[in-house]
Amino acid sequence: MSWLTTVPTYPLILIAVMIVSRLIPLPDAYHPLTFFRFFAQQLAKKVNPDLQRSKQQQLLSGSLAIAVALLPCIILFYALYQFSELPLILDALLLYCSLDWHAQSKVAVDTSLLLQKKQLSLARQQAAKILLRDTDKVNVMGLSKAIIESVLLQSSKLFIATLGYFLLGGGLAALSYRLLQELQRQWNPKLKQFHFFGRPASLLANLLAFPALLLSSIIIAIQYGIVSCFKSCQQKPVFFNKGSFYLLSCSSIALKRDLGGPAFYSQKKILRQRFNTKDAPSAADIIIALRMVNFLHLYLLLLVIAANLLIYLR
């Protein structure tokens, strides 16, 4: 059994945790990320109570709040690693706690089913669980588009990138990245109260998510048409960061549906990039987008397996 010592460990753990998280997902009510969201919300109330403060003060508060939220978790788990006799088990647990894609995709599926049953009000309530934008007045097309964009972006940011950082730095790296993404969501600068306070977390989170967004864009472009996707990506980004712009641009070509366009955040209309294909999205397109995302996950998983087989056989 000496061959076992030469088998790459992290990819095996990654595959095992992916399977477990899909078969036995943690309920939202008991998920550690749910408690961290509550902590982030309460922390923001404490350190960002006055929106009348200067821009510099809010930016400084936002930067310090990142350290206050993340450093205790990082130090605690780093200390556990030092005393743990089974660090790989701890790696697996941290990765498991960092994944909540099943909950996100379930909300998307439920919203699609409600829209197809013409239950728009219930669909708006369901979609609000994963959307930051205002949903109380959005129509079927707008809600379908919002869910599709969320599925595409969150798949890369919260799932693919988390797995990538696990392969690079283990469970602690994956958890640290995932918590930072949660801070970016809870303190999103699109919302009025976090316009300046949330910028440091948003900047750092977008920077770290860029490789996963770019990789997803490239794979979609290869599958659905490199030339068309390349031409679409030649537009000048409006509102979206580079990674999100590339992914939505390629996904619009792949799905053959319009994405982007204006959206309301905190009752304020925000102008965003339009990705036009002449066909508006519908509720059924949410399921199609999820299928495309699931294929993307499978494709990347096969790439990881193939790469590690090559390393093992060398």
211-264 pLDDT per residue, tens: 999 999 999 999 888 888 888 888 777 677 888 889 999 999 999 988 888 888
188-203 pLDDT per residue, tens: 998 888 889 999 999 9
CA-CA distances (angstroms) from residue 224 to 25, 26, 221, 250? 31, 34, 5, 8
Residue with tokens 């009752």: 267
102-152 pLDDT per residue, tens: 888 999 999 999 999 999 999 999 999 889 888 888 899 999 999 999 999
Q: Are 300 and 223 in contact (CB under 8 A)?
A: no
Q: Is the pLDDT of residue 27 over 50?
A: yes
Q: Are 238 and 272 in contact (CB under 8 A)?
A: yes
Q: Are 291 and 255 in contact (CB under 8 A)?
A: no
pLDDT for 314: 66
44-103 pLDDT per residue, tens: 999 888 778 888 999 999 999 999 999 999 999 999 988 888 889 999 999 999 998 888
Eight-state DSSP code of residue 274: E
Average pLDDT over residues 174-183: 96
What is the H or E stretch that residue 265 is in? Answer: strand 263-265
Residue with tokens 């509550």: 38
Confidence class for position 8, pLDDT limits 50, 70, 90? low
Q: Are 156 and 216 in contact (CB under 8 A)?
A: yes
Structure tokens at 28: 């939202």
pLDDT for 40: 94
Structure tokens at 254: 């792949």
Q: Are 304 and 1 in contact (CB under 8 A)?
A: no
- What span, in angstroms and rounded, lies between the C-alpha atoms of 43 and 311? 45
- What span, in angstroms and rounded, lies between the C-alpha atoms of 265 and 65? 23
Range of the domain at 232: 2-313
pLDDT for 5: 47
- What span, in angstroms and rounded, lies between the C-alpha atoms of 173 and 162? 8
Confidence class for position 1, pLDDT limits 50, 70, 90? very low
Count of domains for the chain: 1
Residue with tokens 């219930």: 122
